[in-house]
Amino acid sequence: MQSINVKLQDRSYTIQIQNDLRLRLHEILGSKNSGQQWIIFSQKPIFKIYGEAIESMLREHNFEVKHILLENSENAKSLSSMEAIYSQLIDFSCDRSSIFLALGGGVVGDATGFAAATFMRGVDYYQIPTTLLAMVDSSIGGKTGVNLDSGKNLVGAIWQPKAVLIDSNFLASLPKREVVSALGEVIKYGAILDEDFFNFVSDNVENLIGMGNSQLLQDVIGKCVALKAKIVEQDECEGDLRRILNFGHTVGHALEKYFGFDILRHGEAVLYGMLVAGKLSVKFGGLSSQDYELLSLSILRLPLPSLPKFDVDEIIEIMSTDKKVKDGKINFILLSKIGETVIVDDIDDRMLLQSLKLIQ
Ligand SMILES: NC(=O)c1ccc[n+]([C@@H]2O[C@H](COP(=O)([O-])OP(=O)(O)OC[C@H]3O[C@@H](n4cnc5c(N)ncnc54)[C@H](O)[C@@H]3O)[C@@H](O)[C@H]2O)c1
Ligand SMILES: [Zn+2]
């Protein structure tokens, strides 16, 4: 078992990574069980494969458990779905002592975390991520939130979980496309923070997509988790440091919004976003052409869906309404080399347009 601590004073917690950890949840959570309500948040397909067994096992060990199933799409992260959740929690007689378990990918994690942050002014919750993306990224760091019509994650809270419990065996049922999408975030960690890890991932891309090597998977998850935990410890509330995790996301979020979340997975959008940010890095960040080649080669080695036609001006327009815009300027996280970032905010639209044409 790997165990990684996120040190945040009284909000500190542990991230545990172990095969079949889900079968020991009653032991891991046992010391917290004092007769309160435990609510499993999930989505129907995940609950069917894993949730039902977890719920039964917890009940057998005297946990008072109920479940709430969220819509199986990004729509679950909305204020209207929150309203329905709060009503259900009241119907279940939940109170301040209730504990939530987020069993799912980033959508379930973000929605559960937001419900936990806001219900009765805050209750405890645990992240039990079931997608690779949630394991390496969204379950860690306490960023929770929902979307508005005008953009993603525009309403939210920083609310840390009590622990993140990662069982890589959940990945056995994950569609390959979701794995590829998560590799977008994995490549990102290497690109912004750790050149050796970047090279290691690039050398093992095919192996990782195949998912046959469970030790390799666990090592990669452990490394990403450790890198993210370190950043979160130093910058819990997203000042300059944590913002480097947004490499590839300025363009990525705009593409997600333009095409709709069903056409493009989050990580796929980030992969395209990193291609554009990489090109801009050569012009404005000091990235060498060789390093850009390395970045684009590892991205293009992944089976990405080709982008439907899009209007570059509209993408730029969407970017300028993004959260990352400060004083009217779009903030770009760029690379100065593989493993190092710079923040640049004076990129003019003409340059942006040129770089976006690269993926058009
Ligand atoms: N909070 C953060 O810091 C943070 C960071 C990155 C992304 N996010 C958010 O995460 C979301 C994306 O998360 P995601 O990529 O995990 O997608 P997701 O949660 O939509 O999951 C993808 C699909 O896989 C299914 N699924 C989940 N686990 C499965 C399993 N083990 N087997 C079979 N199917 C399974 C889900 O039901 C869903 O249909 C976005 O909303 C994004 O904004 C948040
Ligand atoms: Zn992301």
Parallel, antiparallel or unpaired: strands 64-70 and 37-43? parallel
Ligand 1 site-directed mutation target among 70, 133, 153, 155, most atoms within 8 Å of CB:
133
Ligand 1 pocket, 178 CB below 6 A? yes
- H or E element: which one contains 344? strand 340-344
The answer, yes or no, to whether residue 38 has pLDDT greater than 70, is yes
Ligand 1 pocket, 110 CB below 6 A? yes
User: 279-316 as b/e, with b when 16 or more CB fall inside 10 Å?
Assistant: bbbbebbebeeebbebbeebbeebebeebeeeebeebb
Mean pLDDT of 289-299: 97
One of 24, 177, 242, 337 is an active-site residue; which one?
A: 242
- DSSP secondary structure string, 139-150? TSS-EEEEEETT
Cα(94) to centroid(ligand 2), Å: 32
- H or E element: which one contains 92? none
Q: What is the pLDDT of residues 55-95, one digit of tens each?
A: 999 999 999 999 999 999 999 999 999 999 999 999 999 99
Is 61 considered catalytic here?
A: no
> What's the one-letter identity of residue 74?
E
> What's the one-letter identity of residue 93?
S
> What's the one-letter identity of residue 241?
L
User: Taking the domains of the chain in order of start, what are their residue ranges?
Assistant: 2-173, 176-357
Question: What count of other Cβ atoms lies within 10 Å of the Cβ of residue 200?
Answer: 15
What burial class does residue 196 get, using C-beta atoms within 10 Å of its C-beta: 0-12 exposed, 13-18 middle, 19+ buried? exposed
Is 309 considered catalytic here?
A: no
**Ligand 1 atom nearest to CA at 182:** 15
Ligand 1 site-directed mutation target among 42, 54, 70, 131, most atoms within 8 Å of CB:
131
Ligand 1 pocket, 106 CB below 6 A? yes
With contact defined as beta carbons under 8 Å apart, do 134 and 103 qualify?
Answer: no
Ligand 1 pocket, 113 CB below 6 A? no
How far is residue 330's CA from residue 342's CA, in Å, rounded to a whole number?
A: 14
Is 67 considered catalytic here?
A: no
Q: Is 5 helix (H, G, I), strand (E, B) or coil?
A: strand
Whose structure tokens read 């067994």?
53
The answer, yes or no, to whether residue 326 has pLDDT greater than 70, is no
Q: How confident is the model at residue 221 (pLDDT cuts 50, 70, 90)?
A: very high
Cα(266) to centroid(ligand 2), Å: 6
Mean pLDDT of 297-315: 93
Question: What pLDDT does residue 338 have?
Answer: 98
With contact defined as beta carbons under 8 Å apart, do 342 and 334 qualify?
Answer: yes
Which architecture does CATH list for 2-173? 3-Layer(aba) Sandwich (3.40)
With contact defined as beta carbons under 8 Å apart, do 178 and 209 qualify?
Answer: no
Q: What is the pLDDT of residues 100-144, one digit of tens each?
A: 999 999 999 999 999 999 999 999 999 999 999 999 999 999 999
Q: For the domain 176-357, what is the CATH code?
A: 1.20.1090.10
Cα(82) to centroid(ligand 2), Å: 22
Cα(73) to centroid(ligand 1), Å: 9
The answer, yes or no, to whether residue 324 has pLDDT greater than 80, is no
Percentage of the chain beyond pLDDT 70 is 98
Question: What count of other Cβ atoms lies within 10 Å of the Cβ of residue 148?
Answer: 13
Is 71 considered catalytic here?
A: no
C-alpha closest to that of 67 among 34, 87, 86, 89: 89
Residue whose CA is at the smallest distance from ligand 1 atom 10: 106
Residue whose CA is at the smallest distance from ligand 1 atom 3: 138
Ligand 1 pocket, 73 CB below 6 A? no
Mean pLDDT of 250-275: 92
The answer, yes or no, to whether residue 360 has pLDDT greater than 90, is no
Cα(33) to centroid(ligand 2), Å: 33
Q: Which ligand is nearest to the CA of 154?
A: 1
Is 233 considered catalytic here?
A: no
Q: Biggest alpha carbon distance in the chain?
A: 63
